């Protein structure tokens, strides 16, 4: 098994600079906040009664972060749309964040065209590409974020601007302090999760060691850590090129656990990660505890607690641990975490079929 404390070998394998991008997340969030303060606000023809974030993969996860983080704060609902089309109710009273890091994802471009034709209020977040060009030509505000990293490494660039824009539009308050708290905490956490901190003292390296050779199953809770569970799964898939699954309490107590009742062989090579946040419903906390006792009879289990000075930092504390863990897991498998050849292949094949 490769040695995760051999920092030189770790970084040599990582030709796309995924570790560097993870390390710079704090600075990325600060920069993203600044961009959100500079962009022109969209002109609204009608008051906004719902927010839609449309995008795919690494560009969509920020929508879920907004949905979960904004849930208790926003006076209007947030829908995350990962599709070519938009729901019928999208119209002049809808604010649509169209998010694509490359600006060239065909589903997102199609959703953009539909949002425009429905008269929605649009803000684009992108490095450029066709989305940047189209939105600028159509007179919609474009938060133009720096390129050069993988979309999934750019959650700061793709998510933080939604907070800044929504605050300036009067939907949120106190976001600058929230982002500053997050940034300071990320700077602290990277010392703990970063490559220089050795195995045994580094929770991300230690957890990667447990997930190695096993099927990671990430369980979070509705309304708090659900987005984190989804993110961990995606990061394990894209960085370590390994299967992973996620689900949420309390729902999984009503189906998934039954499916595991007789699955001893699968459980023997599964590792469960239970994600916890202080805001989890008290009954959900009990459910997690009981379920963990059941699973621990046949599978490995790790509890991970959110930490940090505010809700945003707590959410990101878990995301950040998952990001680093997936990078170390890639290293354990001897895999370069950056390239996602399968996604590139699919995009290229689809591009040949206009
Ligand atoms: C790659 C990644 C993918 C992309 C997705 C959409 O790092 O995370 O999930 O985010 O293929 O592409 P963009 O983000 O360019 O719209």
58 lines ligand 1 (CB under 6 A): yes
Catalytic residue (one of 107, 114, 178, 238) = 238
Do residues 102 and 221 both lie within one domain?
Answer: no
108 lines ligand 1 (CB under 6 A): yes
pLDDT tens by residue, 11-64: 999 999 999 999 999 999 999 999 999 999 999 889 999 999 999 999 999 999
In a domain, 234, yes or no: yes
For the chain, the domain total comes to: 2
340 lines ligand 1 (CB under 6 A): yes
Do residues 49 and 146 both lie within one domain?
Answer: yes
Do residues 165 and 204 both lie within one domain?
Answer: no
In a domain, 128, yes or no: yes
> 88 phi and psi, to 5 degrees?
-60, -35
End-to-end CA distance of the chain: 45
Is 2 a residue whose pLDDT tops 90? Answer: no
Q: For ligand 1, what atom is nearest to the CA of residue 340?
A: 1
151 lines ligand 1 (CB under 6 A): yes
Do residues 38 and 81 both lie within one domain?
Answer: yes
222 and 248 in contact (C-beta within 8 Å)? Answer: yes
Question: Which residues, including other chains, have CB under 8 Å from residue 95's CB and lie 6 or more apart?
Answer: 42, 44, 48, 50, 51, 52, 120, 121, 122, 123, 169
In a domain, 188, yes or no: no
Residue nearest to atom 11 of ligand 1 (CA): 57
- 79 to each of 51, 83, 113, 138, how far by Cα in Å? 6, 12, 18, 24
In a domain, 7, yes or no: no
Do residues 216 and 304 both lie within one domain?
Answer: yes
Residue nearest to atom 5 of ligand 1 (CA): 57
Do residues 123 and 230 both lie within one domain?
Answer: no
In a domain, 251, yes or no: yes
pLDDT tens by residue, 64-96: 999 999 999 999 999 999 999 999 999 999 999
3-state secondary structure the chain: CCCCCCHHHHHHHCCCCHHHHHHCHHHHHHHHHHHHHHCCCCCCCCCCCEEEEECCHHHCHHHHHHHHHHCCCCCCCEEEECCCCCCCCCCCCEEEEEEECCCCCHHHHHHHHHHHHCCCEEEEEECCHHHHHHHHHCCCCEEECCCCCCHHHCHHHHHHHHHHHHHHCCCCCCHHHHHHHHHHHHHHHHHHHCCCCCCCCCHHHHHHHHHCCCEEEEEEECCCCHHHHHHHHHHHHHHHCCCCEEEEECHHHHCHHHHCCCCHHHHHCEEEEEEECCCCCHHHHHHHHHHHHHHHCCCEEEEEECCCCCHHHHHHHHHHHHHHHHHHHHHHCCCCCCCCHHHHHHHHHHHCCC
Do residues 26 and 157 both lie within one domain?
Answer: yes
Structural domain boundaries enclosing 37: 17-173
Question: Which residues, including other chains, have CB under 8 Å from residue 243's CB and lie 6 or more apart?
Answer: 215, 236, 237
How far is 276 from 133, CA to CA, in rounded Å? 42
Catalytic site includes residue 254: yes
**Residue 172 CA to ligand 1 centre (angstroms):** 27
Catalytic site includes residue 238: yes
Average pLDDT, the chain: 97
**Residue 102 CA to ligand 1 centre (angstroms):** 7
**Residue 90 CA to ligand 1 centre (angstroms):** 24
In a domain, 99, yes or no: yes
pLDDT tens by residue, 184-235: 999 999 999 999 999 999 999 999 999 999 999 999 999 999 999 999 999 9
125 lines ligand 1 (CB under 6 A): no
Mutate to test the pocket of ligand 1, among 14, 55, 58 (most ligand atoms within 8 A of CB): 58
Do residues 34 and 167 both lie within one domain?
Answer: yes
At residue 45, the pLDDT reads 82
**Residue 152 CA to ligand 1 centre (angstroms):** 6
pTM equals 0.98
Residue 291's CATH number? 3.40.50.10490
At residue 313, the pLDDT reads 98
In a domain, 190, yes or no: no
Do residues 208 and 273 both lie within one domain?
Answer: yes
Token pair belonging to 349: 């094949």
Token pair belonging to 285: 């906390």
347 lines ligand 1 (CB under 6 A): no
Do residues 23 and 169 both lie within one domain?
Answer: yes
How far is 77 from 70, CA to CA, in rounded Å? 9
Catalytic residue (one of 118, 130, 292, 347) = 347
pLDDT tens by residue, 275-329: 999 999 999 999 999 999 999 999 999 999 999 999 999 999 999 999 999 999 9
Q: For ligand 1, what atom is nearest to the CA of residue 150?
A: 7
Do residues 126 and 222 both lie within one domain?
Answer: no
In a domain, 187, yes or no: no
Do residues 220 and 324 both lie within one domain?
Answer: yes
**Residue 211 CA to ligand 1 centre (angstroms):** 24
């Amino acid at each position: 098994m490769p040695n995760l404390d051999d920092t030189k070998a770790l970084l040599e394998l990582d030709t796309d600079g995924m570790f560097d991008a993870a390390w710079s997340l704090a600075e990325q969030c600060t920069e993203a906040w600044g961009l959100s303060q500079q962009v022109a606000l969209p002109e609204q023809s009608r008051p906004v009664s719902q927010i839609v974030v449309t995008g795919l993969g690494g560009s969509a996860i920020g929508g879920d972060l907004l949905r979960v983080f904004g849930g208790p704060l926003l006076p209007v609902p947030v829908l995350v749309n990962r599709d070519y089309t938009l729901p019928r109710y999208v119209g002049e009273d809808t604010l649509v964040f169209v998010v694509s890091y490359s600006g060239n994802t065909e589903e997102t471009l199609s959703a953009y065209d539909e949002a425009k034709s429905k008269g929605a209020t649009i803000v684009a977040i992108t490095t450029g590409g066709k989305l940047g060009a189209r939105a600028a030509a159509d007179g919609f505000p474009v938060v133009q974020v720096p390129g050069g990293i993988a979309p999934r490494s750019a959650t700061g660039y793709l998510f933080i601007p939604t907070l800044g824009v929504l605050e300036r539009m009067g939907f949120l308050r106190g976001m600058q302090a929230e982002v500053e708290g997050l940034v300071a905490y990320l700077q602290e956490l990277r010392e703990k999760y970063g490559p220089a901190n050795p195995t045994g003292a580094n929770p991300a390296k230690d957890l990667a060691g447990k997930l190695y050779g096993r099927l990671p199953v990430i369980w979070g809770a509705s309304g708090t850590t659900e987005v984190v569970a989804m993110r961990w799964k995606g990061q394990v898939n894209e960085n370590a090129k390994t299967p992973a699954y996620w689900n949420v309490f309390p729902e999984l107590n009503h189906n998934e656990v039954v499916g595991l009742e007789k699955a001893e062989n699968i459980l023997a090579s599964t590792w469960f990660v239970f994600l916890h946040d202080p805001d989890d419903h008290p009954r959900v906390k009990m459910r997690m505890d009981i379920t963990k006792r059941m699973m621990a009879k046949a599978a490995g289990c790790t509890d991970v607690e959110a930490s940090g000075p505010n809700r945003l930092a707590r959410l990101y504390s878990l995301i950040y641990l998952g990001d680093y863990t997936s990078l170390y897991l890639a290293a354990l498998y001897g895999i370069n975490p950056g390239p996602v050849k399968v996604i590139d292949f699919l995009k290229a094949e689809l591009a040949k079929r206009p």
